[in-house]
Amino acid sequence: MLRKLFNEISREELISLIKDLVAIKSRNPPGEEKPCAEYIYSKFKEWGIEAEMVDKPFPERPQVVAYVRGYGEGENLILNGHMDVVPEGDLRSWKYPPFEATVKDDLVFGRGTVDMKSSLAIMMLTMKIFSRYAEKIKGNLISTFAIGEETGDPGTKYLVTEHLPSKGIRKGVGVVLEPTGLKVATAEGGLVWYHVFMKGVSTHASTPEKGINAISMAAFAIVEIDKYNKVLSKKKHPLVPSPTIKVTMIKGGVKENIIPESCWFAIDRRMIPGEKVEDVEAETRRIIESVSKYFPKFEYSMKTITIYEPAEIDPTEKIAEIFLKYASEIAGVERKPWGAPYSTDMRNFVNDAKWPAIIFGPGDVSKAHRPNECVSIGEVVTAMKIILATSAEILGLK
């Protein structure tokens, strides 16, 4: 059966879909996923596959859910991907046009090729192939095309916690097709972004003692943050890199001869599974408030901007073991679980819906979010073979 499934993969159709998807400027911010959703939905309707546009949580940014329904009692297997891509940035840094997928030998260049339009193409063709075998599978194969992953919007969260349950899909297993280089991730890191505002008192720079320098307060805080980063490096997880805390942006002052009354900086705090957001916020506040020993009139505020919680499943979960088996057999990947250092919508399956899920997909994540983003066509085909094989076993196709 696997050989028959593999023979149904059309390399040309896969490349064509990737090209079409890359050409759609589904940038986020600002949240331009709608044309991409309309394209995916129209393809499913053209192929005679059950699909729906979901206008929640944001009516102007629809999501797509497609179904291949099997017979009898069986697993609900959910393939998940996000339609949004990060903006292209400075066009002068691109060798090839970011929204005109360019094929050079085995590579396809363009914004979103690796993160994650190639995986969307895999999901679409997997649904097309399995629609021919619907009467032979148990349970359901479902694909969710979500909005807002790049900015932490609740696209996938809404689909798995509200929309699918409302359709009778109250349990399932998930595959988040982010780029892993064909490794199987059973854990992922998390992150929190904070914006910190230091409030001082302005005065003429010739009489600094009459003011409170907000930039100086921020400088002391940043030193303490860097010290704490060394403490965090001692925290370990078997799969995910140690947590970190870093200041990544800063702004303050209005003129050379004015003691600044305000200073703003951003903190990027990476998390490992087991860490809780509320604990991370409390420890970050303690670090910043330690500056008060140097500034008696110390005053600040801190705002949480974005949260991606870490997540993990037991590597012995059935979905993980099946993916590990086929990734090893088909691609020669080492048969052991991996931890993604980045954050994905896996957390929505595991933390919010309480469904086991893994991360798996083609491509090198280091090529994402940068000029001349690209993915190997051969690796995309291999990834699709692994998806087909695992889907066939989970859904009982023989």
Q: For the chain, what is the mean pLDDT?
A: 96
- Cα angle 186, 188, 189; round to 5: 155
Final residue in a domain of this structure, among 273, 307, 341: 307
pLDDT beyond 80 at 367: yes
Same domain membership, residue 137 and residue 237: no
Who's near 361: CB < 8 A, 6+ residues apart? 116, 118, 119, 122, 176, 177, 178, 179, 180, 182, 383
- Residue 141, classed as helix, strand or coil, is strand
pLDDT beyond 90 at 398: no
Note the pLDDT of residue 312.
98
Same domain membership, residue 243 and residue 154: no
Same domain membership, residue 167 and residue 24: yes
Same domain membership, residue 231 and residue 180: no
Final residue in a domain of this structure, among 307, 326, 354: 307
Same domain membership, residue 229 and residue 142: no
What proportion of the chain, given as a percentage, has pLDDT over 70? 100
Render pLDDT for 168-225 as a digit per residue (tens, 0 to 9): 999 999 999 999 999 999 999 999 999 999 999 999 999 999 999 999 999 999 999 9
The C-alpha atoms of residue 59 and residue 184 are separated, in whole angstroms, by: 34
Phi then psi dihedrals of residue 347, to 5 deg: -60, -30
Note the pLDDT of residue 317.
97
Average pLDDT over residues 281-288: 97
Domains in the chain, number: 2
For residue 6, give its domain range.
2-188+310-394
Render pLDDT for 57-87 as a digit per residue (tens, 0 to 9): 999 999 999 999 998 789 999 999 999 999 9
Same domain membership, residue 165 and residue 219: no
Note the pLDDT of residue 1.
85
Who's near 4: CB < 8 A, 6+ residues apart? none
Strand partners, 307: 192
Who's near 168: CB < 8 A, 6+ residues apart? none
Note the pLDDT of residue 72.
77
Note the pLDDT of residue 296.
83
The C-alpha atoms of residue 262 and residue 96 are separated, in whole angstroms, by: 42
The C-alpha atoms of residue 389 and residue 398 are separated, in whole angstroms, by: 10
Same domain membership, residue 240 and residue 110: no
- The conformation of residue 161, written as its DSSP 8-state character, comes to I
Same domain membership, residue 321 and residue 303: no
Q: What is the pTM of this model?
A: 0.93
Same domain membership, residue 55 and residue 198: no
Phi then psi dihedrals of residue 74, to 5 deg: -170, -175
Task: Work out the end-to-end distance of the chain between its first and last CA atoms, rounded to an integer number of angstroms.
Answer: 6
Residue 145: CATH number of its domain = 3.40.630.10
Residue 253: CATH number of its domain = 3.30.70.360
What are the contacts of 164-168 at 24+ separation with CB within 8 A?
164/65, 164/76, 164/78
Note the pLDDT of residue 342.
94
Same domain membership, residue 161 and residue 136: yes
Same domain membership, residue 291 and residue 336: no
The torsion region of residue 196 among left (phi > 0), alpha (psi -120 to 50) and beta comes to beta
With beta carbons less than 8 A apart as the criterion, state whether 332 and 339 touch: no
Final residue in a domain of this structure, among 264, 283, 307: 307
Q: How many CB atoms lie within 10 A of CB 135?
A: 8
pLDDT beyond 80 at 146: yes
| 297: confidence class by pLDDT, cuts 50, 70, 90 | confident
Render pLDDT for 229-238 as a digit per residue (tens, 0 to 9): 999 999 999 9
Average pLDDT over residues 360-366: 97
**Residue 46, both tokens:** 């053209």
Same domain membership, residue 8 and residue 144: yes
Note the pLDDT of residue 264.
98
